Amino acid sequence: MNDMIISKLKEIERNHTVKILYAIEAGSRSQGVSTPDSDFDVRFIYMHEKDWYLSLDQKKDTIELQEDKLDINGWELAKALRLLRKSNISLSEWLQSKIVYQEVPNFAQELLQLYKSAFNAKTAFYHHLQLAKKNWLAYERKQKNPKIYYYSLKSILACNWIYQWKQMPPNDILQLVENADIPAELLMEVNLLIKQKKSGTNQDLELNNLREFMDDELVQLQSVGHGMSISISNEREITLSLDSFFRKMLNLYDCQQ
């Protein structure tokens, strides 16, 4: 599958006349909790040649391709940088992926440092909190699926990480669990949920301690969020750094044509 993914990425570059700067595996496979039936969620950041940007018209800034178990989705570089400035949580996860299919040298390393310097703890906290609430509501109402349960818990733990450290949370749920200092009886249920997620079965789990923990956390985190201060005071400097990085990538790509 790896060779097929790389081939598809090269095909996208040819068909759309773009340069893919960074392409990774996202979702469950990148987190080590995939099932045999899991799709391959390939995400990438790309850019056009300079002339594409010299236009008054707003143009499409995403590329999508879906085939069988392949879900490929890319963001144009300027779009990715604007989302970085908003502490977008998907981009945070992309930059931490351990499965990299394609990369311009040092691209991810530089972008990760920019992400960390622009990180707004309160914004990221609320992104994760809303995702946790959305998934938990879906689970409670109709979709008794361990996958939804798992992602709601992961977002709750990410909120706790952000509140404690004021830094971007890791993408590894085991790191998040360890940081949360969870009691033994609750940890047993957390590990059971993770195991269930990996198995791919949809059997509803009676995890009473974990259910109570998550209900309480969602209420408490809402209160915690109100008290968090906005952590960014250098927005102008951040924008200048992102502009500089964008221009550098444009020149690099232009030289390679």
- Same domain flag for 246 and 212: no
**DSSP-derived secondary structure for 11-76:** HHHHHHTEEEEEEEEEHHHHHT---TT--EEEEEEEEE-HHHHS-SS----EEEEEETTEEEEEEE
- Same domain flag for 84 and 65: yes
Q: What is the CATH number of the domain that holds 62?
A: 3.30.460.10
Q: Classify residue 228 by its DSSP letter.
A: P
- Same domain flag for 125 and 111: no
- Same domain flag for 241 and 114: yes
- Same domain flag for 212 and 183: yes
- Same domain flag for 76 and 173: no
Overall number of domains in the chain:
2
Predicted pLDDT of residue 154 = 96
- pLDDT < 70 positions in the chain: 142-143, 231-233, 254-257
Strand, coil or helix: what is 160? helix
d(Cα 168, Cα 204) in Å, to the nearest integer? Answer: 31
d(Cα 177, Cα 135) in Å, to the nearest integer? Answer: 19
- Write out the residue range of the structural domain in which residue 60 sits: 2-119+232-255
- Same domain flag for 251 and 193: no
Number of residues that make up the chain = 257
- Distance (Å) of CA 225 to CA 121, 132, 157, 217: 10, 14, 14, 12
Predicted pLDDT of residue 128 = 97
Predicted pLDDT of residue 36 = 76
- Same domain flag for 140 and 95: no
Interval 194-216: pLDDT, tens: 998 888 777 777 788 999 999 99
Predicted pLDDT of residue 213 = 94
- Same domain flag for 204 and 223: yes
Q: Which residue has the tokens 């250098």?
A: 234
- Same domain flag for 214 and 149: yes
